[in-house]
Amino acid sequence: MKTLSALIFASMTFLSAAAFAVDLQLWNSSAPQSLQNLKAPVRVVNLWATWCGPCRKEMPEMSAWYKTQQKGSVDMVGIALDSTENIGKFLKSTPVSYPIWRYGGADSRQFMKSFGNQVGVLPFTVVEAPKCGFKQTITGEVNAKSLSTALKAAQAKCK
């Protein structure tokens, strides 16, 4: 029963997030992006904005953590709820090793809810393994330890 509930929850979350897929684009172009194109068994999705102090603080450590991951084992993407201009200025001073996308839609609150962020706080990170129904959300700032812990939990669940 727990497995069925987890699959239903994962499917509902996937469908809800998929509804916003048309509003995802590379931060510096209008090239559409999709979480379904991420192929690693585990993916990390970080919702952030340039005006968010904890978001700016966590990004260098997230970037360093991502560089240490085995190629093909984890996909990471940062999805900015911000303007292209603000993102560009920030990334000039704080480059990251993972792709940055931008949510270009009109309802960022609903977009955040589609990932499980009911409060609407940033930063908000989702670590998920879609093929086995694992999903962990982290509200607030993450670090290498919290990312590694979530990654290990996903890998253990999906063995």
Q: What's the predicted TM-score (pTM) here? A: 0.86
Which pLDDT tens digit goes with each residue over 120-158? 999 999 999 999 999 999 999 999 999 999 999 999 998
Q: How far apart are CA 159 and CA 93, in angstroms?
A: 39
- The token duo for 150 is 């979530």
- How many angstroms separate the CA atoms of 140 and 116, rounded? 13
Sheet containing 42-48: give its strands across: 24-26, 100-103, 74-80, 42-48, 124-129, 134-139
- Residues 82 and 16: their CA atoms lie apart, in Å, by 21
Using the predicted structure, report yes or no on whether residue 17 has a pLDDT greater than 60. Answer: no
| 37-92 confidence digits (pLDDT tens) | 999 999 999 999 999 999 999 999 999 999 999 999 999 999 999 999 999 999 99
- pLDDT exceeding 90 applies to what percent of the chain? 82
CB 40 within 8 A of CB 74: yes
CATH classification (class only), 24-158: alpha beta
